[in-house]
Structure 1
Amino acid sequence: MKDTVDRAFAAALYAQDDTGLDTGASLLAADPGRWGEAGRELLARGEGYLRQAWERGWQPADVLRLVRRDLEERHIRITGDLIAGEARRYARLPEGWTDAEVWWTDGADDAAYGERLARREKADRFSLATALLEVLRLLVRLPSIEPVGPVPGDPAADALEHAHIEPRMLGRIRALLAKAEATTFPEEAEALSAKAQELMARHTVDEALLAASGRGPAQLPGARRIGVEPPYEEAKAVLLDAVATANRCRAVWNSAFEFSTVVGFESDLEAVELLHTSLLVQGNAAMTRAEAAQRSGGRKRTKTFRQSFLLAYASRLGQRLAETAEHTASEAPDNLPALVVRDVAVTSRADEMFPRTTTTRLRGATDHAGWEDGTAAADRARMGAGHTPLPR
């Protein structure tokens, strides 16, 4: 069977077009009696390709995001199986690595995978072999990217110490943002989001002071990837950059693979991801309401309106978040040295990871009504308490 798999891979994985996929799938599915062996061998090879992907800087969420973009739901499920199979090799995984679990066996033998996969997917062997080969072809073609953390099995993973947002405070922040997303009253959403941002900013200052005094755990800046996916990915990347900057982090957008890498201290990274997700939810809800108002006035829903709305929303919030960050830092001048040390560490880490970056020219916002409505929505999503809106 290994020879058969080798021939199938030679036909399907390394050709520049899709003509070899049928040949490879036919080879794998030709003998019903050996489908179990084929499934076991494909699973083992896939796990090996995943390990190579981890060593090239990829993580499970990144791979799944790419599979979701380029392939279909069945391929996502198969990729999850490969991730689960690979993860069982290790006694301990890096924090947040994956929650995928092996479901087809007790771990003693993977020969059951092929038949159980066929039952789960309700598909024939040829279709499943094609899907498996398509996933593996994607994996072998992954380039190297900047690593954002240790890979499974790396002893350095056990030595890392992360200072997360304290669980009770994290629960309060999440509850505030959930209420802000759920309400249909802009003033209430404004107040709830402002309170959440205030808690985040206070935690950052407290953590910086503890580190400066030597009473907190020794930390280094880390990084995490946050998906920035279509539609309107440029506006989403602008918003993420604004949220990252306000929370003393730096974001670098990779448009080709639909993510941004955010560099910062762990608790700040948690805050960035929470706030960015919440502001996207609030922005989409505000855009839906603005579109309804436009339609009631006789205008049809358009892509240019939505793009202009979200670009204005992101741009305006960037201004407001920058103002809020400056105000928070200036409230207690004695805290500035500790915050500066933190900022220098983050900047150095980001420059080390990304010594060469380029700027991106955004596509213009061409819909005046969308821009005006997006700006107004950003004004309502105020992130700092006690501040008047910036002049238009």
Structure 2
Amino acid sequence: MGNRNRSTRELPATAEGFAGALLAAARAGDDARWLAPGFELPAELVRGAELAVRPLLDRAHRGGWPPGELRQAASRRVDEFAGSYLLDAGPRLPEWAAKHLLTPAEAVTAVVDALGVLLTLPAAPQPSVRHSVDDKKLGRVRALLAKAESSSFPEEAEALSAKAQELMTRHALDRVLVAAAPELPSSRRIWLDTPYTDAKSLLVNVVAKANRCRAVFDPRWDFVTVVGDDLDAVALLTTSLLVQATRAMIADPAGRSRQFRKSFLVSYATRIGERLEQAAAATLTATPDADRLLPALASHDLRVNTAFATLFPQVVGKSVTVRSAEGWDAGRSAADRARLGE
């Protein structure tokens, strides 16, 4: 089960009935009724659970935490029952507990854990309007990256992600030229799987930077928020490169230690960043409208940087330590082999 040690004083004032019922249950000690299915939960507890959870769920949804994002957050904090209670939108407790074959104690614990998630969610960045590559171009990027991930030939792989980056850059340049009026940058969370999330966040950052976006890592929840445009494509490229990096890291016969693997990922991200910047710069150089583009891109960068500074006014830079020279060398070699396009 999830963490049971949260104070009822953290609950909203509207949940006083729920908090009181929890205290009564605590005073009951080892009352066996709370440990057996079928015990009728006190009415004030059932009503209190609704009053506590539903307003917080509404606030989370309005604040940029849709069900899919809540699922990601819950999976990193609580067990499947508390996560289910959140995703079921705070259902009536007796019926929900019976559906999941939970004892009253387990059901109450799930509600408390769900409240803990809702009360500690970080503020969602705004604006959250989504701008993306059109479906046709996004399909081409997706196809290139799928081919990159499936190939067992490093030489073939090397060109594919670069081609994907080139397509993304061309689309971004075209949009900057034809945009009738500047739009607000969009924002998106990219969730990272443990371990080595700090090293993996560097890869998200270099992909974002190459696509004229800004990124910030939240180590408490293991996600990176990216601010800018074409975020669907940024997420696709990041996911593909993480798949390729993990596969290469695991396949390396020397890659057994944590120090090696973390150094590998840091080096991989650093080298990928260099390659993506080169690919983006080459595309810009080859564009015949470079004279028109430069002021438009400067305006775009100012817009993104301003939005990022508004959303995250207190961002602090943090370095990642590399402790394995062998891992660094292996990561750089793997990044040189990574497929960036075709």
TM > 0.5 = yes
Q: Which residue of 2 aligns with 1:129?
A: 108
* Distance apart, 1:278 and its partner CA: 0.7
Q: Which residue of 2 aligns with 1:188?
A: 156
Instruction: Say which of 323, 327, 347 aligns to 2:305.
Output: 347
Distance 2:67 2:223 in 1: 13
Per-residue CA deviations over 1:87-124 (Å, capped at 9, x if unaligned) read: xxxxxxxxxxxxxxxxxxxxxxx65x6335433x3332
Instruction: Say which of 180, 195, 198 aligns to 1:231.
Output: 195
- Tell me if the contact between 1:28 and 1:129 (Cα under 8 Å) persists in the aligned partners: no
Distance 1:317 1:21 in 2: 59
One-letter amino acid matched to 2:176:
A
* Distance apart, 1:279 and its partner CA: 0.4
Instruction: Say which of 311, 314, 323 aligns to 1:366.
Output: 323
1:257 aligns with 2:264: no
Distance 1:358 1:28 in 2: 47
Q: Which residue of 1 aligns with 2:85?
A: 78
| 3-state SS in 1 of match to 2:333 | helix
* Distance apart, 1:9 and its partner CA: 5.2
Distance 1:23 1:139 in 2: 29
Identity %: 39
Q: Any stretches of 5+ residues in structure 1 without a counterpart?
A: 13-18, 86-109, 151-159, 295-299, 386-392
- Tell me if the contact between 1:28 and 1:38 (Cα under 8 Å) persists in the aligned partners: no
Instruction: Say which of 230, 243, 251 aligns to 2:207.
Output: 243
Q: Which residue of 1 aligns with 2:143?
A: 175
Change (3 A) 1:59 1:29: farther
Change (3 A) 1:125 1:339: same
Q: Which residue of 2 aligns with 1:320?
A: 275
Q: Which residue of 2 aligns with 1:356?
A: 314
**Bigger relative contact order, structure 1 or 2, given CA contacts below 8 A and separation 6+?**
2
Question: TM-score, structure 2 length as denominator?
Answer: 0.82
One-letter amino acid matched to 1:67:
A
1:32 aligns with 2:12: no
- Tell me if the contact between 1:28 and 1:35 (Cα under 8 Å) persists in the aligned partners: no
- Tell me if the contact between 1:247 and 1:271 (Cα under 8 Å) persists in the aligned partners: no
Change (3 A) 1:20 1:310: farther
Distance 1:257 1:163 in 2: 24
Q: Any stretches of 5+ residues in structure 2 without a counterpart?
A: 1-14
Counterparts in 2 of 1:1-392, with a 5 A limit?
A: 5-8=18-21, 32-34=39-41, 42-43=49-50, 45-54=52-61, 58-82=65-89, 114-119=94-99, 121-140=100-119, 142=120, 145-149=123-127, 163-211=131-179, 214=180, 219-265=183-229, 268-290=230-252, 293-294=253-254, 301-332=256-287, 333-334=290-291, 335-363=293-321, 365-381=322-338, 383=340
| 3-state SS in 2 of match to 1:70 | coil
- Tell me if the contact between 2:149 and 2:243 (Cα under 8 Å) persists in the aligned partners: yes
Q: Which residue of 1 aligns with 2:5?
A: none
| 3-state SS in 2 of match to 1:311 | helix
One-letter amino acid matched to 1:320:
R
* Distance apart, 1:178 and its partner CA: 1.3
* Distance apart, 1:375 and its partner CA: 0.6
Q: What is the aligned length?
A: 325
Change (3 A) 1:11 1:338: farther
Per-residue CA deviations over 1:159-195 (Å, capped at 9, x if unaligned) read: x6x5432112212211221121122211222232222
Change (3 A) 1:343 1:21: farther
One-letter amino acid matched to 1:376:
S
- Tell me if the contact between 2:161 and 2:339 (Cα under 8 Å) persists in the aligned partners: yes
Distance 1:202 1:21 in 2: 67
| 3-state SS in 1 of match to 2:88 | helix
